[in-house]
Structure 1
């Protein structure tokens, strides 16, 4: 099985040469304006033929390049579904809110899911839950009912956010690749911690917290829910006894500092894939490295557009894969 990716890994090695390193990020940070930053990105080959791209169109083009490469290299993209389930559930959430509120689509849907967003929208419009993948049916109907009957958008959100994490975790558990399994574990654990902190800061009751948290091996969800009900100090005390003890300090700083810590943790974990010659791992790591790169460029562009200080932007930028 691993030998079937030998050519693909060789191609990935060539593409990794174009990934941004710390020096490239520093060049973008040194740009004096948003417009200069866009020009620098275009000089580095980002974007398509558009003369004056917006940040969103430029980043969308780069994400499409990543997946076009994967479609070229890998005959069965389902090995990467674990990275796409959150997009599916985001689009399902958008479809439910559009149908329940009668709103127009103002770009709520995002690309690169395992299901076309038009299929999700049609299923919600027709209440055809049976046309959805089995794991999605129950949460879709429950979330729709919650929003349609109670107008409780927050309840709709936690039902689908939890279902998305469950889907990611199940895909990770089913994968034969250690990187994919570890990615799923870290993703769900980090999401649970972020949810627990939000619940602690907003004083959510235990039943709400427990419903929002997804099961994973590296954290006791029952203990995390109890800690969240008690407050941030209890969450930090609990985490200090787990694999995520290093997160305690950044959690006390700010939510954005913790998100950066989570992303950097994944990047540090996948870096050794640069030295692997076989298997799907190097391809998966490239996808994650590219997503991390795109996220950092988005942070820089947003900071330049809003005239934040270089130091403020730098504190939010993620570590690079290469």
Structure 2
């Protein structure tokens, strides 16, 4: 891609980075007396559609739409961003299989802002037209469909599709010429594997279950991670201490919420070097991830306010900001 095209795109992103939420603003939100005051502060910073209606979920959805509008307008090549819709795409497959196999219909469970909308995915699954799905998705779809139909094991269905999603993300990373996409894929899969190990240890899952759930990546040995999970949480921490994810071991020892926070913070740390890059897609990808991170953090804060959590409990869960 022409470097000049990216120079203009990055210049726009640099201007928009000034409006990203800082750690100081996040602290203001945490210290706000309640949800209403949080929403008012966010509206003052341009969040929402400019109206007076302070509906939390609508505000967050609006911000997600704004983010993708910026990317669509600024990016010289939108294909680079396909990988960021895989989570939604595979979620639609999972939801469609469950609806068809259980014959239960649920409202508002699909994403429509991805390659295959919920309605279309539902038709594909109903007609068993799995060959219409992209990449290696047909094999995962058939496997998950047959598994749920014959075993009624919803968790195993989830595991099959979630692993397929991780493998798809990793494959894009391996093939990408852009360092940030490679790093994003590596971190996404490794962190997911670590989360699987932690949750499997807590719930007493077998090594066979973990093998069905974990995806291979370069920075983590899933064999060693699985064996550590069978031995206990201390063994997981010990294994992580010898990897590039050693900070995760410390977070794991602090608390479950500290560990979840570290998982997201690790991705922000991965993209932060893009602040100094002006001639590639890196800053655009970093902006997208940064916006998703701050929207997630605001959701955590608003949920905490809605449920009467203390400021200290909310602060323990907030994520590190990009700027």
Given the two structures, how large is their TM-score scaled by the length of structure 2?
A: 0.96
Moved more, 259-268 or 60-69: 259-268
Query: Aligned residue for 2:94?
Result: 93
1:116-149: CA deviations, max 9, x gaps? 2222111111111111113110111111111111
Give the secondary structure class of the aligned counterpart of 1:197: helix
**Matches of 1:166 and 1:136 in 2, distance apart?**
10
Aligned residues: 322
Residue 40 (structure 1) shift: 1.4
Query: Aligned residue for 1:309?
Result: 310
Aligned residues: CA RMSD: 1.4
Given the two structures, how large is their TM-score scaled by the length of structure 1?
A: 0.96
Query: Aligned residue for 1:196?
Result: 197
Residue 2 (structure 1) shift: 5.1
8 A Cα contact 2:257 2:316, kept in partner = no
**Matches of 2:66 and 2:60 in 1, distance apart?**
10
Do residues 293 (structure 1) and 294 (structure 2) align?
A: yes
Residue 15 (structure 1) shift: 0.8
Query: Aligned residue for 2:131?
Result: 130
8 A Cα contact 2:34 2:306, kept in partner = yes
1:25-72: CA deviations, max 9, x gaps? 122122111111112111211111553243221111101001011111
1:213-251: CA deviations, max 9, x gaps? 100000111111222222222212211211112211211
**Matches of 1:2 and 1:311 in 2, distance apart?**
48
**Matches of 2:52 and 2:285 in 1, distance apart?**
32
Unaligned runs of at least 5 residues, structure 1: none
Query: Aligned residue for 1:284?
Result: 285
Query: Aligned residue for 2:220?
Result: 219
Indicate how the Cα distance of structure 1 residues 254 and 106 shifts in structure 2: closer, same or farther if over 3 A, else same. Answer: farther
1:242-277: CA deviations, max 9, x gaps? 111221121123332212112112212222212221
Unaligned runs of at least 5 residues, structure 2: none
Residue 182 (structure 1) shift: 0.7
Moved more, 109-118 or 200-209: 109-118
Give the secondary structure class of the aligned counterpart of 2:268: helix
Indicate how the Cα distance of structure 1 residues 209 and 65 shifts in structure 2: closer, same or farther if over 3 A, else same. Answer: same
**Matches of 1:186 and 1:170 in 2, distance apart?**
13
